Structure 1
Amino acid sequence: MRSMGWLYPFRPRPWAGIAAEFHQIAAARPEYEYMAGVVDSVLESDVPLLGATASGDLIVVDRPVPRAPWGAVVVSGPWSQRAVMVPGWVRVEHVGAEGEIAERPVAEAVPLFWRFVTAGFGVVPAVQVS
């Protein structure tokens, strides 16, 4: 677990582009459907979060664009280079001073993501997530 955050600049991407990427991956590899679901929940919630991707993982930070070192909520994809993934499970991690990691079945990906975002950034989705 990282405890101090990342030191390189955060480069956010538009959420629509991130959604398109994960839906395209999920069409070819259904194991990625939960990643598309997490991104869709961000789009539906209209919250002030910034996102990026790296090696199939979703990296989310609070606005404004953070200066290094910055903390993030990371949702690891099935073929993550950050973690050894158990098939059918999702890993969500809060990278920063209050680091925490949880692994749950993919059916819990969206609520687990929002639990981490709420705890890490104080951001609550405008719509109920399931």
Structure 2
Amino acid sequence: MYLWLKLFHIFFIVAWFAGLFYLPRLFVNLAMAAQPAEYARLLQMAEKLFKFMQPWAVGSLACGLALLITQFGFQAGWAHGKLLIGLILLAYHIYCGKLLGDFRHNRNIRSHKWYRVFNELPVFALLFALYLVIFKPF
């Protein structure tokens, strides 16, 4: 059972991260869109991607939590760190939904430069999570 949970956790993480990496990039383009047709097309892409990301986020967190409970019994410090990263990524995901709503209602107040920086945040979360999994420092 452990290997199946691990397999699905990694699968869901990869799929979720595809969205976490690309959705903010769509926000960069939305913030720069000059033509209404271009804006509408990018907004539709962003909305479809966000819907696509939802089950992968749930699967990632569910499998990760199941692994934590069944394999480590909440005793491994590195796993606590990984859970914290998962919760931070969930907050990032939810905030992306809020930003998407702002674009949907033409209330975006951020520049494309801000979104370029925002787009890089999941990279650091992924790096730290991989560090915890491989080196298990705690």
- Normalising by the residue count of structure 2, what TM-score does the alignment of the two structures yield? 0.31
Structure with greater proportional helix content = 2
Structure with greater proportional strand content = 1
Q: Which has the higher contact order (CA 8 A, sep 6+)?
A: 2
- Normalising by the residue count of structure 1, what TM-score does the alignment of the two structures yield? 0.32
Q: Give the number of the structure whose alpha-carbon radius of gyration is greater.
A: 2
